[in-house]
């Protein structure tokens, strides 16, 4: 049985907690966070503390706090024997100042209240020692069948790629939503298109899957779209993305 302590009470902490509660051979010994109210969502099923000076002993400490606070939270674990791992895609291993350091990065978007199934989520593990790596691998396999050893440099690039395919895309969904709402149309009308766009790249490359006025270089349609936009930022984004798409497909036009 592996014992773990989760540090942090936000989106990822809650999802990890729910997943590990269901995992065989893993015991969530404690959740530690500075926010008493947020801790209450864990307190029925597990011991909790808002004092970083009273962290329980465990085999693995998973730090799921905002990236800028990882070093500070890790500094409370200097004397612990277990593996101390952060969960960020963007931060290197070296931010943790102990020999038994590691990374446990689940490559997915997590928001409280939106359940996800961990089984297929890639979990990227890294550690300084072989022993710590094996421990993190075992822990990751208890909730996912998609576990990878990925070093800090690769992980930072992977996170960058994830920002493009998820964070930026989601922001663009928001622009689509506001255009619909301004016209009294429901965003629901766009949802089958959003699903098909994501489904299509499971079978085709993004380049093969690209459609739209910029891909075809339909200049009149693009001019008409620009006429309909009022927001300067949306106009800039439309032009920038259309130029990038045109450049990528210019040899086919
Ligand atoms: N959400 C995702 O999709 C996702 C995916 C993969 C990896 N991650 C990684 O998971 C980590 C947490 O992200 P999240 O999305 O769960 O963030 P979040 O929901 O914003 O939660 C952040 C947590 O950090 C705590 N915190 C902030 N500053 C702190 C400090 N100085 N000392 C102690 N605790 C502090 C917050 O406590 P308060 O409530 O008191 O502010 C909160 O519990 C990050 O490293 C992120 O890169 C997130």
CA distance 215 to 212: 5
Query: pLDDT digits over 177-199, tens only?
Result: 999 999 999 999 999 999 999 99
pLDDT in tens, 91-130: 999 999 998 999 999 999 999 999 999 999 999 999 999 9
pLDDT beyond 90 at 250:
no
Which domains are assigned to the chain? 2-150 (3.40.50.720), 155-252 (1.10.1040.20)
Mean pLDDT of the chain: 97
Helix, strand counts (H, E) of the chain = 11, 8
* Three-state secondary structure of 27-87: EEEEEECCCHHHHCCCCCCCCEECCCCCCCCCCEEEECCCHHHHHHHHHHHCCCCCEEEEC
pLDDT at 80 (0 to 100): 96
Ligand 1 touching residue 238 (CB < 6 A): no
Claim: this prediction has a pTM higher than 0.85: yes
Does ligand 1 come within 6 angstroms of the Cβ of 152? no
Residue 227's pLDDT band, with cuts at 50, 70 and 90, is very high
Nearest CA-CA partner of 90 in 62, 71, 65, 67: 67
Backbone region of residue 57 per phi and psi (left: phi > 0; alpha: psi in -120 to 50; beta: other values): beta
CB–CB of 100/82 below 8 Å?
Answer: yes
Task: Sort 241 into a burial class: Cβ within 10 Å, 0-12 / 13-18 / 19+.
Answer: middle
Mutate to test the pocket of ligand 1, among 7, 10, 109 (most ligand atoms within 8 A of CB): 10
Q: Tell me if 110 sits within 8 A of 15, measured CB to CB.
A: yes
Distance 170 CA to ligand 1 centre (A): 19
Tokens of 155: 């992980």
CA–CA gap between residue 87 and residue 16 (Å, rounded): 10
Residue nearest atom 15 in ligand 1 by C-alpha distance:
11
The reported pLDDT for the residue numbered 252 is 80
Q: How far is the CA of 66 from the centre of ligand 1 (A)?
A: 4
Counting from 1 in the atom list of ligand 1, the atom nearest the Cα of 90 is 47
């Amino acid at each position: 049985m592996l014992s773990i302590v989760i540090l942090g009470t936000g989106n990822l902490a809650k999802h990890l907690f729910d997943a590990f509660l269901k995992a065989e051979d893993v015991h969530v010994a404690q959740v530690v966070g500075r926010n008493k109210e947020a801790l209450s969502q864990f307190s029925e099923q597990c011991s909790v503390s808002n004092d970083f000076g009273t962290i329980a002993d465990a085999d693995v400490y998973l730090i799921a706090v905002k990236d800028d606070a990882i070093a500070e939270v890790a500094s409370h674990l200097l004397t612990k024997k277990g593996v101390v791992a952060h969960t960020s895609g963007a931060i290197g291993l070296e931010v943790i100042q102990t020999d038994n350091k590691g990374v446990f990065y689940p490559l997915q978007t997590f928001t409280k209240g939106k359940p996800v199934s961990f089984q297929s989520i890639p979990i990227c593990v890294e550690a300084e020692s072989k022993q710590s790596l094996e421990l993190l691998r075992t822990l990751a396999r208890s909730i996912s069948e998609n576990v990878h050893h990925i070093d800090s440099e690769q992980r930072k690039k992977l996170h960058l790629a994830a920002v493009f395919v998820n964070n930026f895309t989601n922001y663009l969904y928001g622009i689509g939503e506001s255009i619909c709402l301004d016209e009294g149309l429901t965003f629901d009308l766009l949802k089958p298109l959003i699903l098909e766009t994501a489904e299509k790249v499971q079978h085709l490359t993004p380049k093969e899957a690209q459609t739209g006025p910029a891909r075809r270089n339909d200049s009149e349609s693009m001019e008409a779209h620009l006429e309909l936009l009022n927001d300067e930022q949306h106009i800039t984004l439309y032009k920038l993305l259309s130029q990038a798409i045109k450049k990528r497909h210019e040899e086919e036009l």
